[in-house]
Amino acid sequence: MERIIMAHGSGGRLSHQLVQDLFQKYLGNDYLNQMNDATILPGSTKLALTTDSFVVNPIFFRGGDIGKLAVCGTINDLSVTGARPRYLSLAVILEEGFLIEDLERIVQSIAETSQKAGVPIVCGDTKVVERGSADKIFINTTGVGFLQEHLVGPEYIQPGDYLLISGTIGDHGIAILADREGLEFGTPVVSDCAPLNHLIESFYGPGVRCMRDPTRGGVGTTLNEIARQAKVSIVLEEESLPLNPGVEGACGMLGLDPLYLANEGKVLAVVAPEAVEEVLAKMKAHPLGEQAAVIGRIGEKDPGLVLLKTPLGGKRVVGMLEGEHLPRIC
Amino acid sequence: MERIIMAHGSGGRLSHQLVQDLFQKYLGNDYLNQMNDATILPGSTKLALTTDSFVVNPIFFRGGDIGKLAVCGTINDLSVTGARPRYLSLAVILEEGFLIEDLERIVQSIAETSQKAGVPIVCGDTKVVERGSADKIFINTTGVGFLQEHLVGPEYIQPGDYLLISGTIGDHGIAILADREGLEFGTPVVSDCAPLNHLIESFYGPGVRCMRDPTRGGVGTTLNEIARQAKVSIVLEEESLPLNPGVEGACGMLGLDPLYLANEGKVLAVVAPEAVEEVLAKMKAHPLGEQAAVIGRIGEKDPGLVLLKTPLGGKRVVGMLEGEHLPRIC
């Protein structure tokens, strides 16, 4: 009999398969089938809705904690869909014996992040399960946003558009790995976990065609999703990918590909040629976008493929994440 | 150091204390402080938002499963707030090794319940944790509803109003207990788990002042919440409480009070005297309300107190649920 394996939660190929074969099969409808970071709902005020459960291990890590992550993750999913995040729900599952002191730290961090982003928690739920029936604390946040007038999405992508990222890649993945395994690297790596709504607000406009936040599965998997949905090829320039020295070192040492490491405070943006200079400048002007860069370009209409151009001029196909090398990254 | 205990998840006194001392302390705002089943949000179309995580054990029980429960619970929270449920999100946390066959049964049940209620699942999320880090499957559903023109809430309750319930009490609690402990009673008990939006739609109108669904903590705890928020006393007639013979038998045998057993398909309604006959008749005309009854009355303005009148004329105070006798009931 088939059983759930860790790779079903990787955000990579097996996650997509599970969603398709099970959830979409039985629950599929025009909303669910949008398969974007958040779902756009019709009405006089167009709403966006998104949900995420967080099971990150460890719950406190360099650069954040499960509470901060839960607030940022959902705010970011709404923001990249072209919505202004307005309301969050918060549901926690606690393991019997969990320290109330730790819970308090997490709730304080949720409060701080929610205030900083300007998105209030408006409803909540608390459940408790017996010792050994959950690992410390799991958090679900669901977010409601109001769609902006200018729309973005893979359907607006055109050949020749540029691909931008708001900063270095892989920081969250390496930070979690380091804390979990007790690793120390020459240059310390801190999670990039941050609410992106203000950064995105600063460069949002007509030239922006599509945005995504490359979390689980990393930039590699996220670009594959975009390429398939937009039915285009994407050509990445390996040399232009911004990398922190610590992440570069850790990847070399551990044999990890930064393209598959999770990010929790980065936005990928596909931008029209005429707007690319302005968007890049605005990104760089924001504290969360100082290391923004153009990292690639949209190729011809093509059955969705992501290619990486190496400094020596070679090209290799970048697939979706296979298997699972870093479970419980978010 | 203080730790989380099972009673923090009971829905009773300790749950309320945890919410007050931690979540409201740091996150409190005008929305969160409404402390209703769903939160009402301002705007041209008034929204209602509610979230719930489900950790019920066992995941399949007589009368339902964790999937059906997750859909009903959130639909019901929106409905009793006076909103028409419109959209649901669905987030699952799976334990490594969970049978995909069982997951399929649960997703089918979610699909069936969502179709029956006419409320689609519009976005989702899947996480997987290692074997032993969760117990099989946890589900979060968050719901968005559109508020109806006629408003309900504890602030509309008047002395002299009547208290109605849409049917028998305690069925869900006893069904879960029986399945979990392998108990058999003379009269089998089945969970009342059902989406209440159509039932509520059938009797909703100006005479309806306030509604609640008495889930965790049961009718006793829910009425205490209402009494405190409305600052009134509530007088319950013990004789008029509808009870299935199986629940009555089980409670007698096990020393349980049906007033603290969970319900997952019942609505408590406070109704104005001039409307009570019509509302009761409409409830009884709906398949989910056949055993509806008037079970009490709102007393004078009073610091929120719930009193139970026994058949012999005695009166006792009904408090909130203390401790936790049935963990993971939902």
pLDDT tens column, B241-283? 999 999 999 999 999 999 999 999 999 999 999 999 999 999 9
State which residue of chain B sits closest to A92, comparing Cα positions.
Answer: B53
Whether residue A87 and residue B328 make contact (CB cut-off 8 A), yes or no, is no
User: Which of helix, strand or coil describes residue A264?
Assistant: coil
Topology of the domain covering A154-317 = Phosphoribosyl-aminoimidazole Synthetase; Chain A, domain 2 (3.90.650)
Q: Tens digit of pLDDT for each residue in B98-112?
A: 999 999 999 999 999
Q: What is the pLDDT of residue A188?
A: 87
Average pLDDT over residues B226-251: 96
Structure confidence at residue A43 (pLDDT)? 80
Distance from CA of A121 to the nearest CA of B (A): 7
Contact residues for B174 (Cβ-Cβ < 8 A; gap 6+): B185, B189, B246, B247, B250, B251, B256, B261
Q: Side chain identity at B155, as an amino acid letter? A: E
Nearest to B55 among A19, A107, A129 (CB): A129
- The answer to whether the peptide bond before residue A58 is cis (omega within 30 degrees of 0) is yes
List pLDDT tens digits, range B66-82: 999 999 999 999 999 99
A64-65 vs A83-95, strand pairing mode: unpaired
Measured between beta carbons, the chain B residues lying within 8 angstroms of A323 are none
What is the per-residue pLDDT for B11?
A: 86
- What is the model's pLDDT at position B203? 98
Largest CA distance in chain A: 57
**Contact list, A126 vs chain B (CB under 8 Å):** 8-9, 15, 18-19, 23
* DSSP letter, residue B329: -
Cα atoms in the Cβ-side hemisphere of radius 13 Å centred on B247: 24
Residue-averaged pLDDT of chain B: 95
A26 → closest Cβ in B4, B8, B107? B107
Residue B42 has pLDDT above 90, yes or no: no
Task: Indicate yes or no: CB of A51 within 8 angstroms of CB of B98.
Answer: no
On chain B, the residues whose CB falls within 8 A of the CB of A134 are 55, 133-135, 138
Q: Domain residues of chain B, as ranges?
A: 36-147, 154-317
Q: What is the mean pLDDT of each run of 10 residues along chain A (330 residues)?
A: 92 92 96 91 89 98 97 98 98 98 98 98 97 98 96 96 98 95 87 98 97 96 95 96 96 94 98 98 98 96 90 92 87
What number is the average pLDDT over the span B12-17? 91
The count of CB pairs under 8 A between chains A and B is: 267
Pairwise CB contact (< 8 Å): A53 & B93:
yes
Give the chain A residue whose CA is nearest to the CA of B101: A2
pLDDT for residue A303: 81
Of the candidate ranges A138-142, B85-89, B320-324, the one whose mean pLDDT is the lowest: B320-324
Q: What is the pLDDT of residue B303?
A: 81
**CATH no. of B36-147:** 3.30.1330.10
Percent of chain B with pLDDT over 90: 89
Strands (DSSP E) contained in chain B are 39-41, 47-54, 60-61, 64-65, 83-95, 121-129, 137-147, 162-165, 208-212, 232-237, 268-271, 293-301, 305-309, 315-317
In order, the DSSP letters of B56-121 are -SSSEETTEEHHHHHHHHHHHHHHHTTEEEEEEEEEEEEETT-BHHHHHHHHHHHHHHHHHHT--E
pLDDT at B301: 80
Alpha carbon of A41: minimum distance to chain B alpha carbons (Å): 9
- Looking at the partner chain, which of B55, B90, B99 has a beta carbon nearest the beta carbon of A93? B55
Q: What's the pLDDT score for residue A302?
A: 79
pLDDT digits (tens, 9 = 90+) for B127-145: 999 999 999 999 999 999 9
- ipTM of the complex as predicted: 0.96
Q: Do the Cβ atoms of B126 and B98 come closer than 8 Å?
A: no
